[in-house]
Amino acid sequence: MDFTITFIRVFFWGVYLTSPILVAMALLIIFLGLIVGRVESWTKFDSIYWSFITALTVGYGDIRPISKISKALSIVVGGVGLMLGGILVAISLQATTIAFEIHTDPKVIETIKDSFK
């Protein structure tokens, strides 16, 4: 259980540190989705829904762009979504590595204990 708690703490610390980038990417996805929605005459909800389904590479296909500019922007949305997912995977991997080191290396444990005194 200690490992899990350490992982969660380190993971959320990583998300906190990268939050400006993550928020900027999420806002870019929303902004581009709204542009595509305006071009395609979708509702705002459908536009945001489509942008995150595209960004997360789910792609249900229930809503799809028709015009060339919308299709080009969907490629950008997908690319930003891949980077967003990649950052979250990198944070998870680093948090796992740190948590593993903390719970297996006695030197790291002592260093951490000393830093909290």
Of the two residues 20 and 112, the one the predictor is more confident about is 20
Are 76 and 35 in contact, with CB atoms under 8 Å apart?
no
Q: 111: pLDDT confidence band, cut at 50, 70 and 90?
A: confident
Segments making up each domain of the chain, as ranges: 9-115
Q: Could you tell me which CATH class the domain 9-115 is placed in?
A: mainly alpha
Distances (CA, A) of 2 to 11, 12, 60, 115: 14, 15, 39, 18
Q: Could you tell me the pTM of the whole model?
A: 0.83
Tens digits of residue pLDDT in 14-34: 999 999 999 999 999 999 999
> In 3-state terms, what secondary structure has residue 6?
helix
Return the pLDDT at 109. Answer: 66
